[in-house]
Structure 1
């Protein structure tokens, strides 16, 4: 039996707001040079994670200490985005693992522009197409407009019927399982082709061995979090309340305009719900921190920090001392 009382932590809501905004910054700062390198899967991971952090930050600020339906249009957008981002982050990880696998198993060193363009389109189909499809499919089983939880903000509502376990709930788990297969196959292919590995990476001008292994670690870490979290979420949804029969579109959407409003003292009474809500919003912050841990201190990151530092120094009329800043940034990490 899970002791939910021991798992629910009490902390000031501004603590989460601070970490959520920090998560947004950790994804936004390195995004420009990753966009220049056309690392599609990595960029999708950063964009979805960063926007998810920003979304949760806004919600946590606006609805601190209240459940007033003060921004219904924002809540429509925010709740729909939460639905999509729950699938988008695993989907972006799948894009990363697919790319690593195809690099590790490539037969030709040279990659044509057409192949690169095709790879980008496939990544966009997975990393954008699947989350957008999930946002649409969730409407099938969306019992009412949205819920507002005090301190947390807007959240989507999915009616607990068998339809939800077909079109909404299983996507993160299914995507993570596929991603895990690619990850295992990548490691296997790498072990078989160690001698050719540097030559294969040379065909990818924006990818070296260090970045390859950092991407592998990032994707592997995300899978380690998402797989058990998805299994637990499915189990919680299936056992927290009885699964209702699907009675058709009209019955499901009969009270669609309703907005659930739950003060903190109420939603904390259901410990399973409390853990689920807190886990959902802290997960995106954790993804941002993990990403920055792997890529925020890499050589290319330090070079860009140094360039930004020098640029700001010149704009405000300060001498940055090229040799000093160079030695400083090179000494950090």
Structure 2
């Protein structure tokens, strides 16, 4: 028996809930969805580790049917949540759009909901096509989704998360590129400003000498 498995999973489940209030106030759909999927995944892993600690007895069949589908959905949901975050980060870094209208915010929320929740639900439904049997049981880990290795499983189950991850890396790289370009532009403008002479503090020696002589003449005449 591995007692550290459920303990670590339960701790991770509650740790991911810590930033929930801040993101709930701003209605950040990708971050909220990421928190929800991580909480669901960690809780199912923790409960499975408790039920099947040191055994592989066939119990809680309905629970396994539900959790295996959630595991299939999380395999797609976690990368799609990261993809939505990187898309918005790239949009902010590129400064293509400074402000968003209420209609644009609504469309953005619908887009995020479709990617973060709609696509994983479609993946869970398509899992029935490549499901050889109900589920697999692993000692100390519990039930796991069963996938029949075939050409259909590659295109329906394994390939979509890889494509989503590659798109996420592309948008993340574009965001870093925009941030780097803005930083170079700012540093270049700052150097150019420091290189220019300050006209207010740069005095002509002749004008200063004439001013001193004028003040001395005024002082002598008043005396």
TM-score, normalising length: structure 1: 0.53
Structure 1 runs (4+) deviating above 3 angstroms are: 193-197
The number of equivalent residue pairs is 186
Structure 1 residues 84-132: Cα deviation after superposition (integer angstroms, max 9, x where no partner): 1111111110011011011122334222111111111111111111111
Cα root mean square deviation, aligned: 1.7
Which position in structure 1 is the counterpart of 2:72?
A: 83
1:71 aligns with 2:51: no
Pairing of 1:10-25 with structure 2 (within 5 A): 12-25=1-14
5+ residue gaps, structure 1, are 1-11, 198-333
What is the match of residue 98 of structure 1? 87
Find 1:183's aligned residue among 155, 169, 172. Answer: 172
Q: Deviations over 1:180-199 (max 9, x none)?
A: 110111111222334999xx
CA deviation map 1:129-172 (0-9, x unaligned) = 11111111111010111111121111110101111111111122
When the two structures are superposed, what TM-score results if normalisation uses the length of structure 2?
0.79
CA distance in 2, matches of 1:171, 1:43: 22
Q: Which structure 2 residue ranges, 5 or more long, are not aligned? A: 187-223
Match of 1:137 among 126, 130, 133: 126
Partner of 1:156: 145
Q: Secondary structure at the match of 2:137?
A: strand
How much does 1:21 deviate?
A: 0.4
Matched, 1:31 2:26: no
Counterpart CA distance in 2 for 1:106 and 1:121 is: 22
SS in 1 for 2:143: strand
- State yes or no: 1:168 paired with 2:157: yes
Secondary structure of the 2:58 match is coil
Compare CA radii of gyration and give the structure with the larger one.
2
Q: Give the distance between the partners of 1:65 and 1:107, measured in 2 at CA.
A: 56
Q: Give the Cα–Cα distance (whole angstroms) in 2 for the partners of residues 123 and 195 of structure 1.
A: 32
Distance (whole Å) between structure 2 residues aligned to residue 43 and residue 157 of structure 1: 29
